[in-house]
Structure 1
Amino acid sequence: MKSHPSQLQVVDSDDLPGYPFTSDDQLGAHFFIAWHHREWLNSAMRLKGTPESRAIYFDLICVAQDQKPVGTLPDDDEQLAKLAGVPESHFRALRALEYGPLHKWQRCLCGDEIRLFHPRVLEMVSDAVSRKETNRARVEAANNEKRLQRLRKVLTGYHADLAKNDAAILFMDEWLVERTSYRTASWVERAITAWSNHLFDKNRR
């Protein structure tokens, strides 16, 4: 059996790559991974790894999705063996194979802790984070638009022309967001006053 390269090298932590995500980065409802099946079917790991190594390899990729930081694994054989559900001695033997369950996993720095990451798994996590941020931006944009529409509708009852003024709507919406989460009649009236004062100050310049 060939020894795993990481078991033969002493690496200074200063030389390790820093992991781009932290334990504070949460994916929320992260219930699936983007698995490129054609890439896997033609990979050296699938073609050359033993069935057991391949199974544990995939299991650990799934396990990494719920670790902190997401997408990493502990750099500890005892913990890895428990996560894989096999005796530690057996896990060490599998890890020593050229195409063992930690094929292409590398050490990295997660803050002050040394953990393991896989470049392909990192791409999966980055893709998931990107989708989350895109979705959040889409939801926020939709919420903002609904909030502006509600404000415009309320202002129609006060001053129809003012309700058609996009600049006024944006100014008053921002003014209200900064001051309250409630949009009662009294708050809307204060926002209208703030807009009037804003125009007055602007015209005095």
Structure 2
Amino acid sequence: MTLAASRLRPVDATELPDYPLGPEDDLNGHYFMTWYHREWLNSEMRLKGTEECRALYFDLICLSQDQKPVGTLPDDPEQLAKLLAVDVARLRRLSEMEYGPLHHWQPCRCGDQIRLMHGRVTAMVLEALSRKHDNRARNEAANAAKRRQRLRSAVAGLHPELAQNDAAILWMDDWLVEQGCGYRG
């Protein structure tokens, strides 16, 4: 049960939302997170939360970036207190406040686990994963184009007419990749 238990009622786990990502989705090599500072500066959490609660809230957002699945937190007060390096009793007291460190964090299902998710954090993580996949696709397309251009140059030295045939170059490149010769310097 979450820390803000005084405001929650027991629910059937099947009523909880499913988290859209799994443990296999990660942001390895992700050294920054998107932070919408204007949204934060005008948020109720920033305007109504105490300094301590705001600091812990932000720490939880940062900590969630390294959790599995990314963007979630454990639904366990002791683990959260350890992650935040605060006393569990103090965290529970602060979390009972309307604008406590767990403001808008809600339970969700992550496979067979119950964890905490935050709508805005989930959106940030999904956007970061989308950018990561777009980057990877762009890099792979650029690498394939360079690889095919090198192949075309090599074939041109042997058979200039064959080097002009795009379908033949694509077929040769695909065959070489299938044979394990993806990188050809």
Please state whether the residue corresponding to 1:147 is helix, strand or coil: helix
The CA deviation at 1:29 is: 1.2
Distance 2:163 2:176 in 1: 15
**Aligned residue in 1 for 2:108:** 108
Q: 1:170–1:182: structure 2 CA closer, same or farther, 3 Å change rule?
A: closer
Distance 2:126 2:182 in 1: 37
**Aligned residue in 2 for 1:32:** 32
Q: Deviations over 1:130-169 (max 9, x none)?
A: 1100100010001100110111011012110100111111
Distance 1:131 1:182 in 2: 25
The CA deviation at 1:177 is: 1.2
**Aligned residue in 2 for 1:175:** 175
**Aligned residue in 1 for 2:17:** 17
Letter in 1 for 2:99: Y
Q: Select the structure of larger CA radius of gyration.
A: 1
- Unmatched 5+ stretches in structure 1: 185-205
The CA deviation at 1:7 is: 5.0
CA contact (8 A) 1:176 1:183 kept: no
Q: Deviations over 1:99-128 (max 9, x none)?
A: 000000010111100000000000110111
- Unmatched 5+ stretches in structure 2: none
The CA deviation at 1:4 is: 3.3
Q: State the TM-score, normalizing by the size of structure 2.
A: 0.94
Distance 1:161 1:6 in 2: 78
Distance 1:183 1:4 in 2: 54
Please state whether the residue corresponding to 1:157 is helix, strand or coil: helix
Distance 1:100 1:183 in 2: 53
- Paired residues in the alignment total 182
The CA deviation at 1:182 is: 6.8
Distance 1:61 1:76 in 2: 16
Please state whether the residue corresponding to 1:23 is helix, strand or coil: coil
Farther off after superposition, 173-182 or 66-75: 173-182
Letter in 1 for 2:93: A
CA contact (8 A) 2:4 2:92 kept: no
Letter in 1 for 2:67: Q
Q: Deviations over 1:58-92 (max 9, x none)?
A: 00100000111100000000111111111000000
**Aligned residue in 2 for 1:78:** 78
Letter in 2 for 1:132: K
Please state whether the residue corresponding to 2:158 is helix, strand or coil: coil
Q: 1:162–1:68: structure 2 CA closer, same or farther, 3 Å change rule?
A: same
Q: Which runs of 4+ in 1 moved over 4 A?
A: none
Higher relative contact order (CA 8 A, sep 6+): 2
Letter in 2 for 1:181: C
